Structure 1
Amino acid sequence: MTLRREAFLAHVEERGEYGTAAEAERVARVVLALLGAHLVGAVRAQLAARLPEGFALILLNPLQSAEPLSAERFVRATAAWIEGATEQTATWDVSAVLSTVADTAGEDLMRQILLQLPAGYDLLFGRSQPT
């Protein structure tokens, strides 16, 4: 099931405690662009199919990543792309977006996503169990 754009942003806005939907959207765009660089094939396509169209396109046309980033480096990269962000605020931003993505993806797809990512991403998605 595809989540509507407004609903997706409302979840991110609530979890990130942002003041506006525009702020939530800015964070979501950066995090999804970075995430898209780490996912390949059917897993990326299946996740894109569950995201609102504009965000699906961002996931499918990602920022290029030479190598998979560790969860820690993913947060640092997010901080570098968000104006005024620190590693602490970026951790918050990443978790707000990725926990919403996890809820949208569902358990089966989340297992496949986490298999494509380096260890440590489960916590960023709000999942505490190791895969």
Structure 2
Amino acid sequence: MRWEAFLDHVQERGEYATPQEAERAARTVLALLGAHLVGEVRAELAARLPETFAVILLNPLQATEPLPPERFLRATAAWIEGATEQTVAWDVSAVLSVTADAAGEELTRRILLQLPPGYDLLFGRPERA
């Protein structure tokens, strides 16, 4: 997926006023997601993202433990200035649903298998894990 198309979709789903807001959310969410994915799944997802976001996904800080969705949201909120639990859930869902679209159903299923239960909703794929 091209950079502009990815950001346009994030901006639309997140109802962001500017592309910069969509980019900030995408960078933050994908960096944290990258810390939770490993191996072939992370590499395949990176190959389907725009190059800048692929680099972010592939060069994350390492997570010491898999975060359940609620803690993932709190961790994301800590990185987005002014975020609340409600706004960060919107941010994460906007980015991860576009990421799932770029990944396709089969790869999204494998991504969800690497994450703790509950991420399916954040990816816009309820109960498909």
TM-score grouping bracket, smaller chain normalisation? over 0.9
Which one of 104, 107, 118 corresponds to residue 105 of structure 2? 107
Q: How far did 1:130 drift?
A: 4.2
Residue 75 of structure 1 aligns with which residue? 73
- What stretches of structure 1 of length at least 5 have no aligned partner? none
Equivalent in the alignment of 2:124: 126
Task: Tell me the secondary structure at the aligned position of residue 6 of structure 1.
Answer: helix
Report the Cα offset of residue 88 of structure 1.
0.8
Letter of the 1:35 partner, please give it.
Answer: L
Give the TM-score normalised by the residue count of structure 2: 0.98
CA offsets per residue over residues 93-131 of structure 1, 9 Å max, x none? 000000000000001101110000000000000011242
**2:63 matched to 1:65?**
yes
Tell me how many residue pairs correspond in the alignment.
Answer: 129
What is the root-mean-square deviation in Å for CA atoms of aligned residues? Answer: 0.6
> Could you tell me how far apart the structure 2 residues matched to 1:130 and 1:55 are?
25
Which residue identity does 1:32 align to in structure 2?
L
Partner residue of 1:20 out of 18, 33, 49: 18
Q: % of aligned pairs identical?
A: 76
TM superposition shift of 1:64: 2.5
2:33, 2:57 within 8 Å by CA — same for their partners in 1? Answer: yes
Q: Which runs of 4+ in 1 moved over 3 A?
A: none
TM value normalised by structure 1: 0.97
| Structure 2: gaps of 5 or more residues | none
Question: Contact conserved, 2:109 with 2:128, CA < 8 A, in 1?
Answer: no
Query: After the TM superposition, which of the residue ranges 64-73 and 53-62 deviates more from structure 2?
Result: 64-73
Cα offsets for 1:26-70 (capped at 9, x unmatched): 000000000000000000000000000000000000122111100
- The one-letter code sitting in structure 1 at the alignment partner of 2:102 is T
The equivalent residue for 1:88 is: 86
Match of 1:35 in 2: 33
